[in-house]
Amino acid sequence: MTTNSYWFNDYLTPDLTLQHSVKNVLYTGQSKYQKIEIVQTGTFGVMLVLDGKPQSSEFDEHIYHEALVHAAMLTHPNPQSVYVAGGGEGATLRELYKHPSVKIAVMVDLDDQVVKVCKKWLTKWHMGAFDDKRTILQFKDAKAQLENETTKYDVIISDIPDPLEGGPAYLLFTRNFYKMLSQRLTPDGVLVVQAGFTTPGMSQVFTAIHNTLEGAFPIVAPYQALIPSFSSTWGFIIASKKYDPRKWSSAHVDGMIRQRVKGPLRFYDGVTHTGMFSLPKGLRESIDKETMIITEKKPVFAY
Amino acid sequence: MTTNSYWFNDYLTPDLTLQHSVKNVLYTGQSKYQKIEIVQTGTFGVMLVLDGKPQSSEFDEHIYHEALVHAAMLTHPNPQSVYVAGGGEGATLRELYKHPSVKIAVMVDLDDQVVKVCKKWLTKWHMGAFDDKRTILQFKDAKAQLENETTKYDVIISDIPDPLEGGPAYLLFTRNFYKMLSQRLTPDGVLVVQAGFTTPGMSQVFTAIHNTLEGAFPIVAPYQALIPSFSSTWGFIIASKKYDPRKWSSAHVDGMIRQRVKGPLRFYDGVTHTGMFSLPKGLRESIDKETMIITEKKPVFAY
Amino acid sequence: MTTNSYWFNDYLTPDLTLQHSVKNVLYTGQSKYQKIEIVQTGTFGVMLVLDGKPQSSEFDEHIYHEALVHAAMLTHPNPQSVYVAGGGEGATLRELYKHPSVKIAVMVDLDDQVVKVCKKWLTKWHMGAFDDKRTILQFKDAKAQLENETTKYDVIISDIPDPLEGGPAYLLFTRNFYKMLSQRLTPDGVLVVQAGFTTPGMSQVFTAIHNTLEGAFPIVAPYQALIPSFSSTWGFIIASKKYDPRKWSSAHVDGMIRQRVKGPLRFYDGVTHTGMFSLPKGLRESIDKETMIITEKKPVFAY
Amino acid sequence: MTTNSYWFNDYLTPDLTLQHSVKNVLYTGQSKYQKIEIVQTGTFGVMLVLDGKPQSSEFDEHIYHEALVHAAMLTHPNPQSVYVAGGGEGATLRELYKHPSVKIAVMVDLDDQVVKVCKKWLTKWHMGAFDDKRTILQFKDAKAQLENETTKYDVIISDIPDPLEGGPAYLLFTRNFYKMLSQRLTPDGVLVVQAGFTTPGMSQVFTAIHNTLEGAFPIVAPYQALIPSFSSTWGFIIASKKYDPRKWSSAHVDGMIRQRVKGPLRFYDGVTHTGMFSLPKGLRESIDKETMIITEKKPVFAY
């Protein structure tokens, strides 16, 4: 039953649509790369939508961003330099600065218009992190930018939109890109990638990314978290040269948080960590069966 | 983007609707208690819908029913007699018979029409379990039926629909009902309850059931599993007099499965068990903060 | 098939919804009386929506306003003074000023916020008519305002929203109100009322207004026009003391237009006039069978 | 506001969808040519849907079929032989048999499965007309069938589905087909064609058919009727060699009905006739401006 008049349709598949009531449209514009919208939904509050796909919502962006950032940061023993590909909302910066060890964070986003809009409308997301002195913000293609430099980072966070057909992001999910990222990491270095749906039947992008990363890194640790506004569990993958976050007990994670993290965490803690990395049997089987290697010639696309 | 013409709207809240494309309507009828429909959806295959709410789908009913049954069965050292309240699809029976220790299963469902329809249309669900010699099937109100007998069971499985306002089920989610269930359990006895959404913002029924069970049982162990066709994680709660399934390692669960379970499991295993019982921080906090006790005079209703 | 993400649902009945794709939300606000929205739809362009009901659209407001105004104006031999109840978009003023005989137009709208918003956003509607020297604009309840004055008008145009339950308009559709309007008209005077859906099965408000007007005026001439953005034919009723517009041939109407109307008409002409007043058999039968008299105690409400 | 769970979406355009609540799906099947469905909707009762497009509904099929048949039948002074292309529901037969002059009605429908389904499910439509002794029913392509015979008819009724891209009907809307129809008519002969939407902005098919018919017949008389379940006015065109139904007064039509029609008419009478043929100015202008001639190489397609 509903009495709402305005709706945003998130077309999950041709056979499944999630309809969000819309209370207000705060911003709508078209950048060089994509359509940008800030809408206020009835259930999940303010939401950033790019090319018709929800990116994050006021209600649960903390789940997404805490899940993305903290496990990776703790996997490195002392992360001082961090590279963020994408991350336009600024919430990835916000979370990584909860680690006082960080001395520099280079964020490279393709679309300055997205960042401009987020800076204005999503203050609850970035909380001023764009203005932190440690932030170096560049508007470039992360792939081209990394190819042209040799700096090495402790942690690289790939927080880019799903690889949509015709969209700008799909080349940043390939084997060659991941091999280059491996070269841009220090020996203790850690990569984390947002990696799409893990819902049964919709996990093809996730398992393909996982399989591709295994060709570039010795340790590849997949995990997931429920993002209610995506109506699904969402996948992340840590790839590392030395350390494996799956070996930690809940108590060990809680101990590291106490020692190394400043600022409140609403989602992530030791038990949550254990839950995130304990994937259900079916998903682990899908990962094991996956044979696809993502390349420029044979890319993978999200719906 | 969609080209489908027929849709089933699952109104999750007044502000959130999940639309399933409908390929076929296999059955539609009205029993004494509720509207019953069997529809074939584009994403999740055949689906049982009662009073407009999806109950289980061909695609993921194995997740729901394995999650409901096996952790509880393993919590009891040697379950021989099982009582099922509800369970109309027959899939709960199907799963519990994977435990060869079972000698008798009493299933009490209010609505003979639901069972009749499921028997005919959901053969993939029950796989003939209704005809197992150990099955005693009664069409009664489980509450009235249990009040009038004194038999004790090793395991009781509460697999009844959500407590909808005006629906038949809400009295089976109260403190008095749970206290009576405790008396119908043997000293080693275990109760498991399907307990509604655990998605952040929609977990009120779940936490209220949890809090109510804590007034009736010494050990109360909540857990969850993602049910894609509900577009949410779903909650279950084990209540027990002696044993706590949260203490087991993944390896221990896998060992018990090898020893005690016959028949394939697609969802449940040791790592899945660990993941199910490792609830995220926010949900654990909601559980801790909950003060509501569900009574006949102060019931709880799902949307 | 559709690829649009944003939709406005016009709930015609609980069983029928017209969904408009939304390209932009230009304004949204809440006045003392109602929710006001200006949205840009894919099919009908900019649309004014009050309390969730479309009032008029860029694409076809000319049909609505020409249908409302010109037949009534021509029914009076020389309309010099016109009273408009409602008419917030300003398009009713725009149309009546195409009759150069007009010397004064008193417009009384309850909601100054609606007029303010229309003035800013709907310039194509009013075309500056609010600023015409002949316009006297008052923000009052038309009923109270007319009760407290004795001025007589040549033409009265009732252009108020449908009588929604709980809305501000329903008292302006009653027998007493129409009787008072009759007293505020000169002997040659003409009233025209926008009167709701005439689609078969949805014409109850229309036929009740018609029947009520017959208790207050000797000549009552119902007519209709298709308004695509309402997905229906829409009813209007002319009530008059002396003249009957149903008696005119198409050629006679065209002659009057040439003589008396300045400015282009896109919808209304002689043949259109004949078509509007030639109601289909079923609607005429519904009118004949109607017995309801609308009073304050027994009002009529649109869905 | 709505509480319905099942919906049928009629995609009028990519930007406009009419949603019908579905109470029951009575039949669903796939013929050699198209998908066939019989659904019971909340507003319009039972509805025949072919390839996702509503064809006619219990609520208002009498409007469509009376509008299609009677004006054409009366245009001929004494129609004895009638040819129906399409007309699968049988309601076109039902209406033409209200003219006792008819001695033979040849109905040629491509799809025997459609007729079979309509015979069973749409008894209120055909009322047994398929079994009338004067009916000769053939399942063929009307174009091929007419090319291979030389019989001449008094009235030809083209009651075929809209020319959908990829559908079977579009070749029956071309100049060559209409020229052949002209040859299959007696000197007094009359053709009537169902001709699609006349709603402003959606009348391209209608005006193209009109323009094409003008190349094949000396008299071409367009008209329309509101079909609520299509949420639009619907166009029909009479093409004739001698007689013009636009010349009749309402009284003359009523006189002919009294003399020549047996059986009740719910929609069509003299005033309705006048209303149907008095098209609004905008539509008449669209007709006048149309230059397209529909040919096999340059067909016209409905959305």
Q: With CB atoms and an 8 Å threshold, state whether A233 touches B226.
A: yes
Give CA–CA dist C297/C299, Å, rounded. Answer: 6
Per-residue pLDDT of chain C (303 residues; tens, 9 = 90+): 456 889 999 999 889 999 999 988 899 899 999 899 999 999 999 999 998 899 999 999 999 999 999 999 999 999 999 999 999 999 999 999 999 999 999 999 999 999 999 999 999 999 999 999 999 999 999 999 999 999 999 999 999 988 877 766 888 999 999 999 999 999 999 999 999 999 999 999 999 999 999 999 999 999 999 999 999 999 999 999 999 999 999 999 999 999 999 989 999 999 999 999 999 999 999 999 999 999 988 888 877
Q: Is the dihedral of CA D139, D144, D147, D148 positive or negative?
A: negative
Nearest to B6 among D4, D11, D22 (CB): D22
State the smallest CA–CA distance between residue D273 and chain C in angstroms. Answer: 8
Write out the catalytic residue numbers of C. Answer: 159
Mark whether D143 and D208 lie in a shared domain. Answer: yes
Residue pLDDT, tens place only, B202-257: 999 999 999 999 999 999 999 999 999 999 999 999 999 999 999 999 999 999 99
Is B159 marked active-site? yes
Q: Where are the alpha helices (DSSP H) in A220-269?
A: 250-260
> Which residues in D170-279 belong to E strands, given as ranges?
185-197, 219-227, 232-240
pLDDT at D19 over 90: yes
Give CA–CA dist A174/A176, Å, rounded. Answer: 5
Residue pLDDT, tens place only, D251-276: 999 999 999 999 899 999 999 999 99
Nearest to D5 among B5, B8, B24 (CB): B8
All chains having 3 or more CB pairs closer than 8 angstroms to chain C: A, B, D
Q: How confident is the model at residue A196 (pLDDT cuts 50, 70, 90)?
A: very high
Q: With CB atoms and an 8 Å threshold, state whether A6 touches C7.
A: yes
Structure tokens at A100: 């006082």
Mark whether A210 and A226 lie in a shared domain. Answer: yes
Q: What pLDDT does C289 receive? A: 97
State the smallest CA–CA distance between residue A27 and chain C in angstroms. Answer: 9
Residues of chain B with pLDDT under 70: 1-2, 167-168
Q: With CB atoms and an 8 Å threshold, state whether C3 touches B3.
A: no
Average pLDDT for D198-216: 95
What are the residues of chain A with a beta carbon less than 8 Å away from any beta carbon of chain C? Answer: 4-11, 22, 24-25, 28, 49, 52
**Which residues on adjacent β-strands are paired with residue C157?**
C84, C192
Which domain CATH number covers D134?
3.40.50.150
State the smallest CA–CA distance between residue B153 and chain D in angstroms. Answer: 39
Complex prediction ipTM:
0.94
Average pLDDT for D74-94: 97
Instruction: Sort out which chain C residues have CB atoms less than 8 A from B3's CB and list them.
Output: 1
Instruction: Sort out which chain A residues have CB atoms less than 8 A from C27's CB and list them.
Output: none
Q: How confident is the model at residue A1 (pLDDT cuts 50, 70, 90)?
A: very low
Instruction: Sort out which chain C residues have CB atoms less than 8 A from D264's CB and list them.
Output: none
Mark whether D94 and D223 lie in a shared domain. Answer: yes
Instruction: Confirm whether A45 is domain-assigned.
Output: yes
Instruction: Confirm whether D2 is domain-assigned.
Output: no
* Nearest residue to B25 via CA among D38, C270, D180, D299: D38
Cβ contacts of residue A178 below 8 Å, gap of 6+? A191, A212, A213, A215, A216, A217, A239
State the smallest CA–CA distance between residue B42 and chain C in angstroms. Answer: 16
Q: Where do we find the tokens 């609308």?
A: C294
Which domain CATH number covers D30?
2.30.140.10
What are the residues of chain A with a beta carbon less than 8 Å away from any beta carbon of chain D? Answer: 1-3
Mark whether D103 and D13 lie in a shared domain. Answer: no
Mark whether A28 and A110 lie in a shared domain. Answer: no
pLDDT at A250 over 60: yes
A161 versus C123: the higher-pLDDT residue is: C123
* CA angle at D140 for the pair D139 and D141, rounded to the nearest 5°: 145
Q: What pLDDT does B121 receive? A: 96
What is the full DSSP assignment across C192-222?
EEEEEE-STTS-HHHHHHHHHHHTT-SEEEE
Q: With CB atoms and an 8 Å threshold, state whether D2 touches C20.
A: no
Q: How confident is the model at residue A179 (pLDDT cuts 50, 70, 90)?
A: very high
Average pLDDT for D85-94: 96
Mark whether B42 and B165 lie in a shared domain. Answer: no
Mark whether A29 and A135 lie in a shared domain. Answer: no
DSSP state of D110: S
Contact C69, C93 (CB under 8 A): no
* Last-in-domain residue among C15, C30, C55: C55
Q: How many domains does chain B have?
A: 2
Instruction: Confirm whether A252 is domain-assigned.
Output: yes
Chain D residue closest to A5 (CA)?
Answer: D1
> Is the full-model pTM beyond 0.90?
no
State the smallest CA–CA distance between residue A1 and chain D in angstroms. Answer: 4
Using alpha carbons, list the distances in angstroms from residue A8 to B231, D99, D212.
17, 53, 42
Q: Is the dihedral of CA A21, A26, A32, A33 positive or negative?
A: negative
Residue pLDDT, tens place only, B125-147: 999 999 999 999 999 999 999 99
Q: Is the dihedral of CA B42, B44, B46, B49 positive or negative?
A: negative
Instruction: Confirm whether B191 is domain-assigned.
Output: yes
Half-sphere exposure of residue C44, counting CA atoms within 13 Å on the CB side? 30
Residue pLDDT, tens place only, A41-93: 999 999 999 988 999 999 999 999 999 999 999 999 999 999 999 999 999 99
All chains having 3 or more CB pairs closer than 8 angstroms to chain A: B, C, D
Nearest to A9 among C7, C24, C28 (CB): C7
Give CA–CA dist B213/B223, Å, rounded. Answer: 14
What are the residues of chain C with a beta carbon less than 8 Å away from any beta carbon of chain A? Answer: 3-11, 22, 24-25, 28, 49, 52
> SS3 for A189?
strand
Mark whether A257 and A161 lie in a shared domain. Answer: yes
Give CA–CA dist C146/C83, Å, rounded. Answer: 10
Using alpha carbons, list the distances in angstroms from residue D78 to C8, D71, D150.
51, 13, 21
Q: With CB atoms and an 8 Å threshold, state whether C1 touches D11.
A: yes
Residue pLDDT, tens place only, A200-218: 989 999 999 999 999 999 9
Mark whether B205 and B221 lie in a shared domain. Answer: yes
Instruction: Sort out which chain B residues have CB atoms less than 8 A from C17's CB and list them.
Output: none
Mark whether C80 and C133 lie in a shared domain. Answer: yes
Instruction: Confirm whether D208 is domain-assigned.
Output: yes
pLDDT at D62 over 60: yes
Instruction: Confirm whether A294 is domain-assigned.
Output: no
Instruction: Sort out which chain B residues have CB atoms less than 8 A from C1's CB and list them.
Output: 1-3
Domain range holding D22? 7-55
Average pLDDT for A137-146: 94
Mark whether C138 and C275 lie in a shared domain. Answer: yes
Chain B residue closest to D6 (CA)?
Answer: B8
Of all residues in chain D, what percent carry a pLDDT higher than 90?
Answer: 86
Q: Is the dihedral of CA D183, D184, D190, D196 positive or negative?
A: negative
Average pLDDT, chain D: 94
Instruction: Sort out which chain A residues have CB atoms less than 8 A from D17's CB and list them.
Output: none
Chains C, D: CB pairs < 8 Å: 150
The catalytic position among A10, A109, A111, A159 is A159
Residue pLDDT, tens place only, D283-296: 999 999 999 999 98
Structure tokens at C134: 């002949």
Q: Angle of helix B270-277 relative to helix B250-260, nearest 10 degrees? A: 130
All chains having 3 or more CB pairs closer than 8 angstroms to chain D: A, B, C
Q: What pLDDT does A2 receive? A: 58
Contact A146, A181 (CB under 8 A): yes
Mark whether A270 and A128 lie in a shared domain. Answer: yes
Q: Angle of helix B281-289 relative to helix A270-277, nearest 10 degrees? A: 130
Instruction: Confirm whether C79 is domain-assigned.
Output: yes
> SS3 for B148?
coil
Instruction: Confirm whether B300 is domain-assigned.
Output: no
Q: Is the dihedral of CA B165, B168, B172, B175 positive or negative?
A: positive
Instruction: Sort out which chain C residues have CB atoms less than 8 A from A4's CB and list them.
Output: 9
